[in-house]
């Protein structure tokens, strides 16, 4: 791990920990000046469980949940969220539900789809869309549109980090916001001030991490 990474712990739950690396990075939809590493909360079960506990708390007493759609390798967090929401001992509206945790598929054009065997987990169901981070909300919007297409109802949107507060008019429930990373900036790839200043890219970012250039 690059020694330049800086830890950031949540005030809501210190075990929901992410790492940050300043630089110049390209994502599929934008350029950013900070890479946010989610590997701890997405792969270590203790951290994933605590992250899930913090996110699930937003829905326990006010939202019926049937399905969690997981984007960008958040399945472990989603599974813990399902367990917490379905727990019969915490007065949850979803108590006793056999909550589905599903990952969408992408076709060759980049469109989100659900195969026939998983469509029944979307159609007529109350669905939370879960992702690791949101800079523009483009992917999350795709997921919302897909859930609606398959006749599901999006009842919640949540992320570990989000620099935006709403997607499709719905509030994003998140652990870390832009106020936790005041120096974090998202740029249009064609109007990036770092590119215009001649600053070379440090790496390419996707849901699996970043690759140095």
The pLDDT tens digits for 125-173 are 999 999 999 888 999 999 999 999 999 999 999 999 998 999 999 999 9
Give residues with Cβ within 8 angstroms of 211, minimum separation 6. 203, 204
> Rounded to 5 degrees, what angle do the CA atoms 204, 25, 160 make?
90
In percent, the amount of the chain with pLDDT more than 70 equals 99
Q: 158-189 b/e with 16+ CB inside 10 Å = b?
A: bbbbbbbeebeeeebbbbbebebbeebbbbee
Query: Span 6-212: which CATH code?
Result: 3.40.50.2020
Radius of gyration from C-alpha coordinates of the chain: 17
How distant is the alpha carbon of residue 201 from its chain centre? Answer: 24
pLDDT at 181 over 90: no
Task: Give the range among 5-14, 83-92, 153-162 with minimum mean pLDDT.
Answer: 5-14
Give the CA count within 13 Å in the CB-facing half-sphere of 172. 26
Which whole number is the average pLDDT over 99-117? 93
pLDDT of the residue at 2: 60
Joined tokens for residue 34: 């900070």
Q: Name the pTM for this structure.
A: 0.91
């Amino acid at each position: 791990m690059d020694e330049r990474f800086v830890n950031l712990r949540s005030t809501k739950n210190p075990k929901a920990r992410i790492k940050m690396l300043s630089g110049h990075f390209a994502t599929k939809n934008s350029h950013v000046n900070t890479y946010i590493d989610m590997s701890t909360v997405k792969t270590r079960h203790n951290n994933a469980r605590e992250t899930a506990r913090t996110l699930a708390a937003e829905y326990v007493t006010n939202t019926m949940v049937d399905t969690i759609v997981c984007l960008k390798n958040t399945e472990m967090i989603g599974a813990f969220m399902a367990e917490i929401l379905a727990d019969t001992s915490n007065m949850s509206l979803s108590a006793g539900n056999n909550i589905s945790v599903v990952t969408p598929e992408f076709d060759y054009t980049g469109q989100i789809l659900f195969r026939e065997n998983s469509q029944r987990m979307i159609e007529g169901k109350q669905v939370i869309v879960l992702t690791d981070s949101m800079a523009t909300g483009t992917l999350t919007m795709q997921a919302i549109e897909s859930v609606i297409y398959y006749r599901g109802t999006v009842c919640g949107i949540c992320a570990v980090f989000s620099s935006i507060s709403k997607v499709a008019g719905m509030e994003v429930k998140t652990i870390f916001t832009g106020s936790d990373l005041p120096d974090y900036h998202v740029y249009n790839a064609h109007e990036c001030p770092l590119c215009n200043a001649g600053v070379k890219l440090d790496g390419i970012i996707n849901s699996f991490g970043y690759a140095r250039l």
